[in-house]
Amino acid sequence: MTLENDRPNTTSRPDRRTLANAIRALSMDAVQAANSGHPGMPMGMADIAEVLWNDYLKHNPKNPEWHDRDRFVLSNGHGSMLLYSLLHLSGYRLSMEEIRNFRQFGRHTAGHPEREPTLGIETTTGPLGQGISNAVGMALAEKILSQQFNRDGLDIVDHRTWVFVGDGCLMEGISHEACSLAGTLKLGKLICLYDDNGISIDGETSGWFTDDSRKRFESYGWHVVDEVDGHDSSKIASAIEGAMAETERPSLICCKTVIGFGSPNKQGTASTHGAPLGDIEIANVRKEIGWPHEPFEIPSEVADSWNAVDRGTDAEDSWNDLWNVYRRTYPDLADEFTRRMGGELPVDWTDFADNAIAEINDSGVDMATRKASLLALNSFAPALPEMVGGSADLTGSNLTKHDGSTVISGDDASGNYVYFGVREFGMAAICNGLGLHGGVMPYSGTFLVFSDYSRNALRMAALMEVQNICVFTHDSIGLGEDGPTHQPIEHTASLRIMPNMRVWRPCDAVETAVAWRDAIERKEGPTSLILTRQGLPHQSRTIEQMKNIRSGGYILRDSDELPELILIATGSEISLAVNVAEELMSAGSKVRVVSMPCTHLFDQQNEEYKEAILPSSVTARIAVEAGVSDGWWKYVGARGRIIGMNSFGASAPAGELFEHFGFSHDNLLNNAKDILGL
């Protein structure tokens, strides 16, 4: 391992090792001050980071959201102090006070990076493998937008996505899913620098990670540079330049590094991974690397050499010159690019969406809500060229490919549809990356039961407040003969309890279209659309009822007077509730049917509205939904009842299953009569 990696020194600029040592010092001091954190990775990758950030990364600290900046993703997010050091040193709005308060409440220097684009933090990382998968989405977005908007000599979209990954990221299955697809799609502007230090929390990885990563990534269709000395700046630079010259394949640069580099007694061991070095060892490090400065002190000559504001401003100014020519030459395209990168909907969107939903309502069609979802897509997609969707090998079942879909391939990324293959987790994380990049609106499809595979990526979307529209079909025992392995029971409830995940389970084509509209308009988080395989009848509505769908819960059928009984239902169980209510009302009972396609939106309504829908004086209530029952007690109260699932399903025709598990006219009617005392 080379220890000398200096470029020629001048009186005005410190050598490269000294610049890298600033990262090492800040990282070990911040972790020590917090008495918590991971110093080993930042110290080990400091030389790599110095070369990339000072010589190759295109960015502007004064405008962290510049559209054509390179994206940098720290997939091995436990080494967050590496990123915070880089941002501070480069001139971003991340103060030394924030560094001093690493991992403290209310600070911008969390234990793992949390998305904050105004500070240069592109994505939230920590769960290993997600960062690199987000990066695949970012690189795909760049490729899509470049083919859609660039014109001869006017490449307004021309940037790279850089990723730091560690052994843990490459062990996680999600990295296999995402990186395999990245090779197929020929994402040549995706460059990963692999921190190959052979250490994880449990020690030397040779006991549990013996993959030949080079061969694996080559089999994915990647360009791979192996055995790069991660502490030799000239070799790092040579590998980066080779990767930048490769335009057809994503690149993996395997950098041999020493974890905790510079720690004379702990480097190369797991003891540096996830614990402070200690005051004594930090003093030893200072001697070892020749860093005589006090904690959190950066000498002016080092700070000046790191500051990237002037370089970044020049880079953005050059792009602005190009943009001004583009805007004069292609004004309509420029306006569209600005709209899409700003996340704005078309100016006529409201009228367009209103008319589309009205047409669907007027048609009065009976259909499965998965088919209604396609109907909505066909209605909305022509107005939204930014929509980019796909399915995890279930296109014909999820019905996610609308009439205007064109398939994205490695050779042509100008389209809007991705065949993700059987990669549910990777798909969700890639879609997060598409949304994080900007300029595209991602949606994806799979069976609801397989949302378990993608759950952690869905959680990250909710945590990051990034738009990601998830089409989940085959929503219940209505799936039928495929049996309990494919029948989601707890999944809708599980998604509902996730903070900032908005869940819709519509009952017909109209509610499905409204759900799609809400998901399209919602920019601050993901949306799950829970859709049926089985056909459902159209429900007639007044104009007021149409309006109230967006409230999440509303009165669909009602008595002339205060009801004696309220039936609450969603999805396929709405028609059951309506039929039973009509029978009871014809016999003289006062019954209300409340459709509650989105509990989250209903819960956000004011108390007056909620009381009007669910009067507290009416305690006779029954909720019916073909899923686990626990979540409905808050709506029915202690005296209410729930008809739901309390077991897994079975393999049989859907009709037989609904009858067997109690989702039948007779069962609901008998429960209603019993609670009414009839």
Scan for tokens 């659309």, then name that residue: 529
CA 420 → CA 110, 177, 179, 220, 405, distances in Å?
33, 9, 12, 14, 14
* Neighbouring C-beta atoms of residue 658, cutoff 10 Å: 22
As given in the structure block, the two tokens for residue 235 are 């070799």
Task: Please name the amino acid found at residue 120.
Answer: G
Scan for tokens 């299955």, then name that residue: 173
Question: How far apart are the C-alpha atoms of 546 and 543, rounded to whole Å?
Answer: 5
Q: If DSSP codes are grouped into helix, strand and coil, which group holds residue 234?
A: helix
Phi/psi at 228 (5° precision) = -85, 130
Beta strands, E only, 69-189? 71-74, 161-166
- Give the CA angle between residues 444, 450, 454 to the nearest 5°: 65
Give Cβ neighbours of residue 476 (< 8 Å, ≥ 6 apart). Answer: 487, 488, 489, 532, 571, 572, 626, 627
Radius of gyration of the chain, Cα coordinates, nearest whole angstrom: 28
Question: How far apart are the C-alpha atoms of 522 and 516, rounded to whole Å?
Answer: 10
Question: How far apart are the C-alpha atoms of 418 and 178, rounded to whole Å?
Answer: 13
Burial 373-399 (b: 16+ CB within 10 A, else e): bbbbbebbbebbebbbbbbbbbbeebb
480: left (phi over 0), alpha (psi -120 to 50) or beta: left
Active-site residue set: 424
As given in the structure block, the two tokens for residue 655 are 């009709």
As given in the structure block, the two tokens for residue 118 are 């105004």
Question: How far apart are the C-alpha atoms of 644 and 662, rounded to whole Å?
Answer: 8
- Give the CA angle between residues 198, 203, 205 to the nearest 5°: 40
Question: How far apart are the C-alpha atoms of 322 and 335, rounded to whole Å?
Answer: 15
CA 555 → CA 87, 244, 309, 563, 572, distances in Å?
52, 59, 58, 11, 16
CA 41 → CA 166, 168, 368, 565, distances in Å?
9, 12, 51, 62
Our measurement of the distance from residue 267's CA atom to the centroid of its chain's CA atoms, rounded to an integer in Å, reads 35
Number of H helices, E strands in the chain: 27, 18
Question: How far apart are the C-alpha atoms of 538 and 401, rounded to whole Å?
Answer: 23
Decide if 627 contacts 602 (C-beta within 8 A): no
* Neighbouring C-beta atoms of residue 541, cutoff 10 Å: 18
Pairing of strands 199-200, 203-204: antiparallel
Give Cβ neighbours of residue 75 (< 8 Å, ≥ 6 apart). Answer: 125, 128, 129, 130, 131, 132, 134, 135, 163, 164, 165, 166, 169
Decide if 448 contacts 474 (C-beta within 8 A): yes
